[in-house]
Amino acid sequence: MNKTELNQNKQLPSKKERHKLFGSVEPGPRTKPMEKDQMADLQNSKKDFLFDIDMVGISSVKHPIRIPSTMTPEIQTTIGTFSFGSSIAQGSKGTNMSRFTEQLDKYHNEGFAVDIATLKQFTEELAGRLKQTDAEVEVTFPWFFERKGPYSGLAGMNHADATIRVEYDKETGHDVTVTLTGKITTLCPCSKEISEYSAHNQRGNVTMSVKLTDDFKEQEIDWKAALLEAAESNASARIHPVLKRPDEKMVTEQAYENPRFVEDIVRLVAADLYEYSFVEAFTVKCRNEESIHLHDAVATLSYDKKQEAE
């Protein structure tokens, strides 16, 4: 007798009996209404609840989205991680959590392409759906772009982590902040200076958070590509998914010719962001994963152009 036959001969109680064995009970009497308009609505209670709430909502919502890009691939489908919120006045108990995901599903059914103009419209509609005067949405997603070897021209896919945050207020309008984290190569200037030959290098992580000007036009400027260029063009070398030996020689020599500390990176990237007309304020962070230490090297720089006029 084989194992399958042995298992078939085992006498088990019915599925319902098995559930009872592990704690399931019969349904009790149903006394509360099933019709929505007859149900208690605690979240819409109106009393003095002591304090206003700055923001209440939901987070860590994963959803498929489409991303437009000026770099190949120009249209891509990826996974966005969303958070939504709005303020709550002292006289209201809470928000209607289901309305956030209802709004997301509405846009998904209309072919949700995540861009700034669409998210501005999204927040205005969300505020109306929530019967509030403000709303905010933030979405983070991996953005992919093609990168070719500098000599061979062989292509592969790199990616950066992108975030769009849109805050809407009925009185003041929209505030938009975009963030991009890209990876670069950095070669240590001190190591190069003191060594007879060679120098240690490492992968650096550059994060740029930018407040966009009110007149920013996404159809004219791909902010993702612009921030990526600000990070990569100031690095010791760019990161490549495919490198043949001639490519590797070129990248290695380029890094040696352009040594950078983390301090150098944040200042050079800041200079590029300062020159971008669509940037109102920014923060640049660089974190190098040191190859000869167990610790990382970090630097941060923030600047607000509006302070110049004050």
For the chain, the domains span 52-309
pLDDT in tens, 73-115: 998 999 999 999 999 888 887 788 889 999 999 999 988 889 9
- Given a contact cutoff of 8 angstroms between Cβ atoms, the answer to whether 148 and 231 are in contact is no
Structure tokens at 277: 């007309």
pLDDT in tens, 237-290: 999 999 999 999 999 999 999 999 999 999 999 999 999 999 999 999 999 988
- The CATH homologous superfamily for domain 52-309 is Urate Oxidase; (3.10.270.10)
Query: Cis ω on the peptide bond leading into residue 246 (within 30° of 0)?
Result: no
Please give the model's pTM, rounded to 2 decimal places. 0.87
pLDDT in tens, 115-172: 999 999 999 999 999 999 999 999 999 999 999 999 999 999 999 999 999 999 999 9
Mean pLDDT of the chain: 91
Full DSSP string of 56-114 = EEEEEEEEEEEEE-SSSSSEEEEEEEEEEEEEE-TTB----THHHHHHHHHHHHT--B-
Query: Measured between alpha carbons, how far apart are the two ends of the chain, in Å?
Result: 90
